[in-house]
Amino acid sequence: MNLHAFLNPIEEENKKVVASKRFIDGTGKPIEWEIRTITAEEDEYLRKSCTKKVQVPGKKGQFIQEIDTNKYLGLLAVSCTVCPNLNDAELQNGYGVMGADSLLKKMLHAGEYTAFLAKIQEMNGFDSSMDELVEEAKN
């Protein structure tokens, strides 16, 4: 086993994607947004911040953990977006919102937002759907 390979992983470079064709530069070309991957540790923090205990109906004193998937995906998108800076107060003020997650949802149309989330999930290794995983497990 080569320990050196584990101590020096290949660094993944940030990617440039067009989140919307509505944001254009001076020449009329769509502006690319920069996105990055996050570590499993960062992801765990995001998941924990979106998880709450919910009482099991009819079972006094029993709780299950439930994750708010929409909140998680929004925070994942914010964490992975390098440019534009979604935490920029001037940008948030320009859209009349507070918070990076609210800004992102205000900036992008519903389909653009969904496509942007898909690109971020793919970049972070969440590109296999549950159906694909089930089929793979069957084989």
pLDDT at 131: 53
Structural domains in the chain plus CATH codes: 14-38+69-125 (3.30.2220.30)
- Model confidence pLDDT, tens digit, residues 86-122: 999 999 999 999 999 999 999 999 999 999 999 999 9
* Residue pLDDT, tens place only, 56-71: 888 888 888 888 999 9
Q: Which residues of 42-53 are buried (b: 16+ CB within 10 A; e: fewer)?
A: ebeebeeebeee
What is the pLDDT at residue 134? Answer: 47
DSSP-derived letter for residue 14 is P
Give 21-59 pLDDT, tens digit per residue: 999 999 999 999 999 999 999 999 999 999 998 888 888
In angstroms, the CA 71 to CA 101 distance is 9
Give pTM, 2 decimals: 0.81
Report the pLDDT value the prediction gives residue 44, as an integer from 0 to 100: 95
